[in-house]
Amino acid sequence: MLTHPIKALILDRDGTLIEHVPYLYDPANVRLLPGVVAGLKAALDAGILLFIHSNQSGVGRGLFDLAAAEACNMRMLELLGLGDSIFQRVCLAPEAPDAPEIYRKPSPRFASEIMLDFGLLPGEVCYVGDRWSDLATAVATGTQAVGVATGLEDLRQELHEHGLLDQYPVCDSLLSAMSLILQKSC
């Protein structure tokens, strides 16, 4: 279902790269999902730019501060072992669900900024995530998307409920998603 070579991936964090722990604020609870290191390494080896776009509503709800979310990112980078600069940019959207949407997915703002700043066309960008909001962001931006069924929710059911099931492929892991993505990469 991917139609163009991918030059950039915008990855969700919780449930896509690391185990989804509700309102994660403690770096000690950060655990990589299976195949993530190999999948990210394959993307980097193919010259694909990597970005993270993660909703962090716990900040907006007052459960923890942005520094705690950033500390979890630092722990994830340590566990990945691929260097501190593998991600070109990281967007932690701190808005609570009932707050005005700025960067909270499915807001197109982060992807639009990346495309403008890096000279990318929507078809060259692919969202990868475990929730319908990740794929709905792709709809909002006109980018491609691949779902991964590695989060807490049943992604296929979520996509069915939101009318997106037939629009995007869903893989069982980030590594299998990378195999699909790299078939269309440069």
> pLDDT digits over 158-181, tens only?
888 988 888 889 999 999 999 999
Give the torsion sign (CA, 139, 128, 104, 86). Answer: negative
Q: pTM for the full model?
A: 0.95
Per-residue pLDDT tens for 5-59?
899 999 999 999 999 999 999 999 999 999 999 999 999 999 999 999 999 999 9
Gap between the Cα atoms of 181 and 136, Å rounded: 18
Distances, alpha carbon 81 to alpha carbons 8, 121, 160, in Å: 20, 30, 36
**What are the CB-based long-range contacts (under 8 Å, 24+) for 65-68?**
66/92, 66/94, 68/25, 68/26
